[in-house]
Amino acid sequence: MIETARLTLRRVTMADLDAFHDILRRPEVMTYWSTPPHPDRATTETWLTTTVARDPATTVEFAVVLDGRVIGKVGGGALPEVGYIFHPDAWGKGYATEAMQALIAFAFAHHDIDHLMADIDPRNAASRSLLQRLGFHYTHHAANTFCINGAWSDSDYYRLNRPQTP
């Protein structure tokens, strides 16, 4: 578990199903995600089962909790990949920045990796700004990386190198 000034980051559990379904069912949240909104709780349950089962030795997966309520998730399926998703009520308040700063510190402190990677839909200006504030730098663009309901989207890739120690 990680405590920040306002947030708690803890392992994702199956008890988070309702909170994550409330996030992942929303079209505004999933606009730039790699899957469409979750149409039902069973879809979120399948996603969450996979997320919970990931090996903490090779992943970092944290539910982001504010005042006892899950407001999002930071982490990724396999290091060095990381990402984030938040409930719209949490947007624009600095929670993603705060949670990602904690995740970055944790990942470099507990895993033998020389960098982190994130990919975003190039149309997602808010995510691009977040990654740049966190020190990630643009590495490349790829066309037609995922198809949702017959529409292709591209990806921009960003990298954050492990900080140099004196």
- Write out pLDDT tens, residues 124-156: 999 999 999 999 999 999 999 988 878 898 999
List helix spans (H) across the chain: 17-24, 27-30, 41-53, 95-110, 125-133
Task: Give the H or E element holding residue 37.
Answer: none
Range 70-84 average pLDDT = 93
**Crossing angle (nearest 10°) for helices 95-110 and 125-133:** 50
- Write out pLDDT tens, residues 1-43: 999 999 999 999 999 999 999 999 999 998 888 888 999 999 9
Instruction: Give residue for tokens 């708690």.
Output: 8
